[in-house]
Structure 1
Amino acid sequence: MNISRRNFLRLTLALNALSFLRTGTSFAARKTTLKLGAPVPFSFEILKALARERASHDYVAPPQPDPEIVKQIDYDAHGKLQYRKDAALWADGGSSYPVTFQHVGMFFPKTVSMNVVEKGMAREIQYDPNLFTIGPDHIASALPANPSAFAGFWVHENRFKKPDWKTREPCVTFLGASYFRAIGELGQVGLSARGIALNPGMSNPEEFPDFVSFWFEGARKADDPLIVYALLDGPSLSGAYRFSIKRTKGVIMDIEAELFLRKDIDRLGLAPLTSMYWFSETVKPAAVDWRPEVHDSDGLALWTGTGEHIWRPLNNPSRITVSSFVDKSPKGFGLLQRDRVFDHYQDGVRYHLRPSAWIEPLGDWGEGTVQLTEIPTDDEIHDNIVAMWVPREPATAGKSYHLRYRLHWLADEPYPTSLARCVATRLGNGGQPGKPRPKGVRKFTVEFMGKPLAKLPFGTKPEPVVTVSRGELSRIEIEAVPDGVAGHWRTHFDLAVAGTDPVEMRCYLRVKDKAMSETWLYQYHPA
């Protein structure tokens, strides 16, 4: 796994946000308009044919403007390259969602072609240095006007619903490889999605294909979606994507993709999500940081094909780990930020408001696994978590895939379980207070909260059902959390285990034979 690449991608997202925050009115004096190329026929079918044709030939990397100049456009220099919003695509009408563009720089040197579609015809948006605030002393002024120097784009708030869209943070960003992200209903961005993930968590290098071209089809009415088409290309595959993007209380994206493989791929990750988890109340090294928790997501949620709801708290392991959850026709999965209490973070970057992202399959995805890759990290700048769908059948050269799914950027799952949910996982030394603590014994405390537990008759206790892949369980207890909150229960249990191999753990609460909670899964790494 290329950790430095993940670090770099996270920095690009931070730079992206900083560039927007620096936006002012000083550059608005000069009126700039978009220049368009000659019209050519375009449709999703044409794009799929183009991706198929590309996959039949050797890969050719996207062009890059003068590398010696681009590598000097660092974090600070890129922050000064503000796109002139008066030159936004559809700034004055034609679509609900204006679109602005990002410049190439040190962290994203590859160019991306941008096109606008109307009535079945596409016209390329011509790069012009005057679209950006490139002063005469800026290093970017040394770049030629041709070829293009676009690297990505922003989708802004709906003009009809937010007339002040120029002063608001964009709601969707596509920038860097096949990465994109969106604002959640709590007004924050956080984790990212990707078009594809190839070989994350493996000993061989991870491959990062690029979205090399985009086409924009405007939303004519206030409630219509913006349509974005994308051509994906990389050494191992090519693909055609269609994004139907709509701003709701968060952002909803309907995504359709057609993929064509050039080479065999060891681990093909579809509908991937990427996030950051450093530490939480579960495990925190002593005095590693002044904040109680630091993470963009705190768990993986699964809604299986059989209807089971599962919560798997995230880990920051000592080595790269990959967990596979076998399923058939999954109903959904996502990386969520469940903990919404500011005091649990104490950070002005507002981790408690970070969005959750949920993948909802459209159609039958068949057999495969939801794979969770967890990578060691020692700082919050690294995106170290990947969740994705891996089909059961091997991904071999010449194979094609058709995929449809809905991506929800919200505060929570769009279809939460009616059962009680896991709200905290805590680890400590096993044994009893006041007595010598036995070596190799770890205590676990798992908290659940929800209506089924709140409605229990007086005197009725739920029963914790705990199983582990190895080791010996003892001291299994259940109690109501003494905080006065109805339906808030916690179970404690000790695990004695030898060796350092991971232990797969499972727990849920029941009354008689009826489940009261979702299923808690956890991978424990003995020291």
Structure 2
Amino acid sequence: MQRRSFLTALAAFAALPRVSTAGPALAEAVPFSLDGLYGKARDLALMPYRPMPEVPQEWKDLTYDQYRKIWFRGADAIWRDTDSPFQVELFHPGLYFPRPVKIALVEDGQARDLTFDFSLFDTSDDLPDLPLDDTLGYSGFRLSTELKNPGNFEEFFVMQGASYFRAIARGQNYGQSARGLAIGTASDQGEEFSDFTHFWIERAATGQQEITVHALLNSPSVTGIYSFDITPGAPTIMDVRAQIYPRVELTRFGLGPLTSMFLFDETNRSMFDDFRPAVHDTDGLLMRNGAGETLWRPLANPKSLQVSSFVDHDPKGFGLMQRARDLADFADLEAHYHTRPGLWVEPGEDWGNGAVTLVEIPADREIYDNIVAYWQPREALKAGSMHPFSYRLSWGEDPVLQSPVARVLNTRMGERFGGGRIVTIDFEDSADLPEDLNTLTLHASSSAGEVTPAIIQRNPQTGGVRMAFTFHADEATFAELRAQIILDGRSISEVWLYRWTV
């Protein structure tokens, strides 16, 4: 999964000077309706799965550097020099993207497919000769709008590769990804990656702040139609509506799947010889469960695959967040991890029984996406039927929650002289924190081994408080740790959770 650095590099070409041509060619118009898309997905689910055709081998054999030597001319962006509040640029196929997709523009109830035109791309002089035939097509697209200044169109959304997509809020840089559906993640049978194979992009009216994109999902197990109503800003909001048509019964699947990278921070810094104090796109899983509790689970880079399930009923939301927001947290002048977006998933209807599922995969380099989070419903999806889901994605900072409690700002761990591991948890300042900290009840526990009684102190650097205790694993190789601050029988902090492994 080296797509992350790859897509980031592509953005650099947007600033290069362009020479305008005629723009993308359009096929004949056909009537468009959402009901028609649903019928297309329903009919497709009744037929055997057939993947999209692949491009010629020469395109698939492009190296990373060679692929970057082809870029779309910004002067030929769709709806450029019009009154449209959005513009669209296209990606070519090859390398990590061997199967082209179909992209259509929707205006006035009519859809027109874009035909592939290699002349819309500039190339470097040393690019090898590539065959042009009917198998070629675009591999995805990106959207831009006037995020900050009038007349300056900036990219905020990318859709490319399988069913992956990424977005940013104003002033942020790309980080984690989302995708349409997770199937068989971390299962013994292996994961199935569904593809968005067709896109329909509706032209937004003049002055409209929202753009709508529809996508057809297809894989051996399922088809579906996803509609994204996207409003860029701070945060960037996506309202997602999906109708899913399983070909087979789906038992291991995830809604609202998120993919991120976590290499190290103060909990596992000793594992890496690196000049930076931390490297991660996100540093924790935030959850608001059906009971109204707010939970924070710091991410880990384990030595073996770890799957954590947080059982719940009708969750209020979950997401992978980046709480380290200072440049000094990373000391990286190029990656800008401190400006990567958090991503919050908010169900649009009751999701019933299930579990927020966190998958942590060992990684030794920051180019690998090794963190996955999603909602796993308890009930399977029956084959031959339609299943609707909706949810909202918020790309940006932490979400604004009702009945807020003191957030966890940071977690640190290290060996204690004489045995055990010191655990410190920094909580932000809160109006609920009393002047006299002795009136607080501190909860710290472990499912294995033992923990010492917790202590709490003011932290002059954060303005909040620090809770600390020592964990003794004894003979245990695995333990679930839990901590929180309680006042008058009520939790006034997030519930801190952590899975410790040897």
TM-score w.r.t. structure 2 length?
Answer: 0.95
- Are 1:63 and 2:53 matched, yes or no? yes
Structure 1 segment 353-502 matched on structure 2, within 5 A: 353-415=339-401, 418-430=404-416, 437-438=418-419, 441-452=420-431, 454=433, 456-458=434-436, 460-481=438-459, 483=460, 485-486=462-463, 488-502=464-478
Paired with 2:379 and 2:177, the residues of 1 have a C-alpha distance of: 27
Instruction: Give the match for residue 44 of structure 2.
Output: 54
Gaps of 5+ in 2: none
3-state DSSP class of the match of 1:86? Answer: helix
CA–CA distance in structure 1, aligned partners of residues 7 and 30 of structure 2? 32
Equivalent in the alignment of 2:25:
35
Q: Distance in 2 between matches of 1:204 and 1:459?
A: 51
User: 1:459 and 1:211 mapped to 2: Cα distance?
Assistant: 53
8 Å contact kept, 1:135–1:141: no
Distance 1:160 1:421, change over 3 A: closer
Q: Distance in 2 between matches of 1:159 and 1:485?
A: 32
Q: Residue 376 of structure 2 aligns to which amino acid in structure 1?
A: V
Q: 1:42 to 1:484 in 2, by over 3 A?
A: closer
Q: 1:425 to 1:507 in 2, by over 3 A?
A: same
Q: 1:405 to 1:523 in 2, by over 3 A?
A: same
The alpha carbon displacement at 1:394 in A equals: 2.2
Q: Distance in 1 between matches of 2:149 and 2:461?
A: 42
The secondary structure found in structure 2 opposite 1:46 is helix
Are the counterparts in 2 of residues 77 and 138 from structure 1 also a CA contact under 8 Å? yes
2:144 pairs, out of 142, 156, 167, with 156
Preserved CA contact (<8 Å) 1:463 1:509: yes
Distance 1:229 1:329, change over 3 A: same
Stretch of structure 1 that moved more, 208-217 or 68-77: 68-77
* Residues 267 and 395 in structure 1, CA contact (< 8 A), matched pair in contact too: no
**1:90–1:98 contact (8 Å) kept in structure 2:** yes
Check the 8 A contact 1:94/1:218 in 2, yes or no.
no
What do residues 129-156 of structure 1 show as CA deviations (whole Å, max 9, x unaligned)?
A: 1111146863364222x34420010001
Count the aligned residue pairs. 501
> Residue 238 in 1 paired to residue 223 in 2?
yes
In 1: Cα distance, 2:473 partner to 2:148 partner = 60
Between the aligned partners of 1:522 and 1:186, the Cα distance in structure 2 is 31
Counterparts of residues 319-330 of structure 1 (less than 5 Å): 319-330=304-315
1: CA distance between counterparts of 2:271 and 2:73?
47
Deviates more, 1:31-40 or 1:368-377: 31-40
Alpha-carbon separation, structure 2, partners of 1:248 and 1:159: 7
* Cα deviation, residue 80, structure 1: 1.9
Specify which of 84, 88, 94 is matched with residue 73 of structure 2: 84
Q: Aligned to 2:7, what secondary structure does the other structure show?
A: helix
- Counterpart contact for 2:241–2:390, Cα < 8 Å: yes
In 1, Cα distance between the equivalents of 2:215 and 2:437?
59
Preserved contact between residue 420 and residue 518 of structure 1 (Cα < 8 Å): yes
1:228 aligns with 2:213: yes
Identity in percent: 35
Q: Which residue of structure 1 lines up, in the alignment, with residue 498 of structure 2?
A: 522
Distance in structure 1 (CA, Å) of the matches to 2:272 and 2:296: 28
Match of 1:3 in 2: none
Q: How far does residue 171 in structure 1 lie from its aligned partner after superposition?
A: 0.6
CA–CA distance in structure 2, aligned partners of residues 79 and 416 of structure 1 = 45
Residues in 1 aligned to 2:328 and 2:25: alpha-carbon distance in whole angstroms: 50
Letter in 1 for 2:487: V
Q: Is the 8 A contact 1:71 1:105 kept in 2?
A: yes
Within 2, Cα distance between the matches of 1:343 and 1:161? Answer: 28
Kindly indicate whether residue 280 of structure 2 is the aligned counterpart of residue 295 of structure 1. yes
Q: Are the aligned partners of 1:370 and 1:389 in contact in 2 as well (CA < 8 Å)?
A: yes
User: 1:323 & 1:135 partners in 2: Cα distance?
Assistant: 47
Q: CA, structure 1 residues 484+371, in 2 after alignment: closer, same or farther (shift >3 Å)?
A: closer
Post-superposition shift, 1:521?
A: 0.9
Query: 1:82 deviation in Å?
Result: 1.4
After superposition, what is the alpha-carbon deviation per residue over 1:254-311, rounded to whole angstroms, capped at 9, x for unaligned? 1101111112334101110100001111122255222110000000000111111110
Flag the 1:331–1:88 CA change in 2: closer, same or farther, 3 A: same
Asked if residue 508 in structure 1 is aligned to residue 484 in structure 2, the reply is yes
Corresponding residue SS for 1:104:
coil
CA change 1:117–1:485 in 2 (3 A) is closer
In 2, the alpha carbon distance for the partners of 1:224 and 1:218 equals 11
* Structure 1 residue 84, shift from structure 2 partner: 1.8
Secondary structure (helix, strand or coil) at the match of 2:173 reads coil
Secondary structure of the 1:383 match is coil
Deviation at 1:93, TM superposition (A): 1.8
2:82 paired with 1:93: yes
